[in-house]
Amino acid sequence: MIGTEEYHKISELVKRSGKRLLFLDYDGTLMPLMKFPSLSAPNEDVIRILTSLASDKKNNVVIISGRDSATLGKWLGNLDLIIVAEHGALIKYPGKQWQELAEETDEWKKEIITAMENSSRKCGGSFIEEKRFSLAWHYRNASYESGNFHSRELIRTLSKMIHNTPLQILDGNKIIEVRFTKVNKGAIAKMIMNKVNPDFIMALGDDRTDEDMFSALGRDSINIKIGPGETAAGYSLITQEEVVRFLKELLLKELN
Ligand SMILES: [Mg+2]
């Protein structure tokens, strides 16, 4: 929770800082979780707040997401932001092209796709999303019972398949994702932190992939978990709706 006392403490750190680094997850943090990933285009409020945050020269704003680079580029590519796609496989600095940080190899995908297709056939409403460096099986639109049952079954199957490989399973919020272990939000967050060399760091995220980021940044950062559940973050906000309000109040008060 961020009570009055905690808020005051964070606010003081913000005021005293000269160079800030903000890591913002996208889905479930800046925007609510939607039934289909393609429906979550940023609304006006989010565009406005990101534009304002980026216009303050003290702020270095990073959108750090598991989404693919084409979608993030289309939605946010014109803003003065650092954008991280696919949990750190790709990065884009303001006004620059995307850079790949992971090697591409598609061989590993075949077996995983077969297993996911198997689950999709049995679990109505679920679907597969193929990204460059990961595969995701979404079951947000399946019935609770079916999604629960088949997701656990898929996890067991995948766990056997990835044994002794460089792959990792992410058991997220109504999503199971398989990706290279070399790629994670923690590694990329640390790299950006070393590059920017800020005197204030804050990171916000709602899912398990954000825990990599919280752990990597550690006590150097004000880590804020969105929603309930166990977390390595020191602070939490109960709902996604609070995020934009919190950011506005904390960082844009002086600008408005
Ligand atoms: Mg998220």
Q: How far is the CA of 213 from the centre of ligand 1 (A)?
A: 12
Does residue 18 sit in the same domain as residue 94? yes
Write down the mean pLDDT value for the chain.
92
Does residue 21 sit in the same domain as residue 87? yes
Judging by beta carbons within 10 Å of its beta carbon (0-12, 13-18, 19+), is residue 254 exposed, middle or buried? exposed
Does residue 22 sit in the same domain as residue 116? no
Domain boundary among 158, 180, 202: 180
The domain in which residue 218 lies consists of: 4-102+183-252
Position 256 confidence tier, pLDDT thresholds 50, 70, 90: very low
Does residue 165 sit in the same domain as residue 225? no
Does residue 70 sit in the same domain as residue 85? yes
Does residue 121 sit in the same domain as residue 191? no
Q: How far is the CA of 65 from the centre of ligand 1 (A)?
A: 7
Give exposure, 23-35, as e/b (b: 16+ Cβ within 10 Å): bbbbbbbbbebee
17: CATH = 3.40.50.1000
Position 48 confidence tier, pLDDT thresholds 50, 70, 90: very high
Q: How far is the CA of 107 from the centre of ligand 1 (A)?
A: 27
Does residue 128 sit in the same domain as residue 64? no
Q: How far is the CA of 135 from the centre of ligand 1 (A)?
A: 16
**Domains contained in the chain, number:** 2
Phi, psi of 244 (to 5 degrees): -60, -40
| pLDDT at residue 187 tops 80 | yes
Calculate the alpha carbon distances from 230 to 28, 159, 221, 225, 236 in Å.
16, 22, 18, 9, 10
Does residue 128 sit in the same domain as residue 113? yes
Catalytic residue set: 25
137: CATH = 3.30.70
What pTM was computed for the model? 0.78
Does residue 196 sit in the same domain as residue 93? yes
Does residue 142 sit in the same domain as residue 51? no
Residues with CB under 5 A from ligand 1 (ion): 25, 27-28, 206-207
Does residue 89 sit in the same domain as residue 21? yes
Domain boundary among 127, 151, 180: 180
Q: How far apart (Å, rounded) are the C-alpha atoms in residues 175 and 32?
A: 15
Q: How far apart (Å, rounded) are the C-alpha atoms in residues 127 and 59?
A: 38
